Amino acid sequence: MKCRLVNPGRHGGPGLPAGIEGLGITTSTRHNDGLSGGQYRAYEIDYSVEMVLAAMSDLIQEVGVHEAVRDTVEKSDRISIS
């Protein structure tokens, strides 16, 4: 399962944090929906959500697990947090 974030930054909203793009784990594509839709980027994580969370297990242990990924963390045998 890949995670996809569509329309970040659209209509003045926030996009991805600058550090995320620098990690080299995302792919972005630019879209143009014409005058009414404007231009925006769609981002996709190039690795499984479980793999990214496993690599970030120290950080997750320190700051906690977000409810959006809680099930993935609890079911995974690759993510080690105590």
Q: Do residues 37 and 62 share a domain?
A: no
- The range of the structural domain enclosing residue 53 comes to 47-82
Spatial distance between the Cα atoms of 18 and 29, rounded to a whole number of angstroms: 16
Q: Do residues 38 and 65 share a domain?
A: no
pLDDT tens, residue order, the chain (82 aa): 455 555 545 444 455 666 666 777 888 888 787 777 677 777 788 888 888 888 888 888 888 888 888 898 888 888 887 7
Spatial distance between the Cα atoms of 46 and 49, rounded to a whole number of angstroms: 9
Q: Do residues 20 and 42 share a domain?
A: yes
Q: Do residues 2 and 42 share a domain?
A: yes
pTM above 0.85, yes or no: no
Number of separate domains in the chain: 2
Spatial distance between the Cα atoms of 29 and 39, rounded to a whole number of angstroms: 11
Determine the pLDDT at residue 11: 46
Determine the pLDDT at residue 81: 79
Burial group, residue 42, by CB count within 10 angstroms (0-12, 13-18, 19+): middle
Q: Do residues 2 and 32 share a domain?
A: yes
Q: Do residues 32 and 52 share a domain?
A: no
Q: Identify the helix (H) or strand (E) that includes residue 27.
A: strand 26-32
Q: Do residues 59 and 82 share a domain?
A: yes
